[in-house]
Amino acid sequence: MTQSTLTSAQTPGTPQGSAPAASATAPTASRSPWSGHPEAEETRRWTEVAETVAAQLAEDVLTRDAAGGDPFDSVRLLKDSGLTRLLAPAEYGGHGGHWSTAFRVVRILARTDASLAQVLAYHYNNEESIVFSGDPEVRETWYRRSTAGAWVWGDAVNPVDPDLTLTDTGAGLVLSGTKRFCTGSGVGDALLVLARISGGPRDGRLHHVVLEHDRAGVEHHDDWDLLGQRQSSSGSVTFHDVTVSPEDELGGVDDPFSTLVTPAIQLSFVNLYVGIAEGALARGREITNARKNAWFRSEADLYRHDPFVLRLYGELTSQTAAAAALADQVAQEFEEVIGQGNAVTREARGELAVRIAQAKVVSDAAGLAAAHQVYEATGSSSTRAGVGLDLFWRNIRTHSLHDPVDYKKHEVGDRFLNGTLPPVSLYT
């Protein structure tokens, strides 16, 4: 399969079942700015920051969710707290944090406001495309611009949409077309765009460019009106013959290290789902403990003493705890792989993808079960809109459909039975 025949969901330059070797001349030491695992102080610090931001978001989360639209004020909280600069290297103005810390932050925010947690998760993956797709020599320029402006990075990448077109006119690149489901695009200072080059020496290559929110010819559509994740700022974006300068270009995705961007976003989803489950159970506990009396046939005096209610919470909290433990373990494995830089192999990348697929299967099930079955303990009165318990179910039901979990199960089973690694793509 040649590069020009790759589907939009595949990784550019990486046919299914194989991966190109890392360049022998590429600088191994500088490829990955992340190494090791966070010290306890880093974990403590950013846990406290995330919990503080989550508490502020909780004050009006139901009102904002009902209103929908782009969450500019809430995104300002993310910027002012320093969370948007968490993963950027310290030498370029960031906080030099670790990926496991970022995943933890996403989980904490998702307990309260999964929409904002999604915006931040995508920001981390989009901004870190500076490393995944960009050349080391331009890294400092991009990071300094991003950290100085406390940028939030949205995207127009959706692989299942028809490709945008980057036309090489001979005098430069021109971007045109429309992308749907562009998370963070409405509130993003920077917009990461993935499009296929047409014409010129790079014909057929999928290529990343970065545009500012208000670039001439970029039209943001206020058309995100889904059941959940209502403030994830995921509307469509149309590009009307936008001129792309060389300074706007970031690069492609063409070796095992650069393709770690997909495991990174999938592991972000894992933590999003775990956080939603934890939030649903915490809210369910408040409602259940406040209920008076018990079901008329129960021998218990209160619902929270009823053996069936205790059994339900015991099952749901155990499932969620297992999902959280697996997510934490796989986050450690992710850091070990990403710290290898150019030394990352196709096999290491594939094994990591399978482990994340396992965590995705477990977290998807735990999140859906918790957000749905908690109603069995809280009763019909908890279905009132003002209670807010439905927020968790709507959010997990919406985002869990991002890509079919059955295919994650297939990847895990295929590796277990046949020793097959998943294909390298923008979903695996």
18-61 per-position pLDDT tens digit: 333 333 333 333 589 999 999 999 999 999 999 999 999 999 99
Q: Which range in 105-109, 160-164, 201-205, 295-299 is most confidently predicted, on average pLDDT? A: 105-109
Residue with tokens 């990174």: 264
253 vs 227, which has greater pLDDT?
227
- The proportion of the chain whose per-residue pLDDT surpasses 70, expressed as a percent, equals 93
* End-to-end alpha carbon distance in the chain: 18
Residues in Cβ contact with 45 at an 8 Å cutoff, skipping those fewer than 6 apart: none
For residue 14, name the pLDDT band (cuts at 50, 70, 90).
very low
pLDDT of 5 above 80:
no
Residues in Cβ contact with 236 at an 8 Å cutoff, skipping those fewer than 6 apart: 178, 179, 180, 181, 182, 221, 223
pLDDT of residue 384: 92
pLDDT of residue 253: 78
pLDDT of residue 23: 35
Burial pattern 48-66, b for ≥16 Cβ within 10 A else e, equals ebbeebbeebeeebbebbe
Residues in Cβ contact with 58 at an 8 Å cutoff, skipping those fewer than 6 apart: 112, 113
360-391 pLDDT per residue, tens = 999 999 999 999 999 999 999 999 989 999 99
For residue 81, name the pLDDT band (cuts at 50, 70, 90).
very high
Pick the range with the lowest mean pLDDT from 222-226, 273-277, 307-311. 222-226
Cα–Cα distance for residue pair 276/322, rounded to 1 Å: 14
Mean of per-residue pLDDT scores for the chain: 91
Averaged pLDDT, 288-293? 95
- The proportion of the chain whose per-residue pLDDT surpasses 90, expressed as a percent, equals 85
pLDDT of 203 above 90:
no
Averaged pLDDT, 313-339? 98
263-290 pLDDT per residue, tens = 999 999 999 999 999 999 999 999 999 9
In terms of phi and psi (left: phi > 0; alpha: psi -120 to 50; beta: otherwise), the region of 241 is left
102-158 pLDDT per residue, tens = 999 999 999 999 999 999 999 999 999 999 988 888 899 999 999 999 999 999 998
pLDDT of 88 above 70:
yes
For residue 162, name the pLDDT band (cuts at 50, 70, 90).
confident
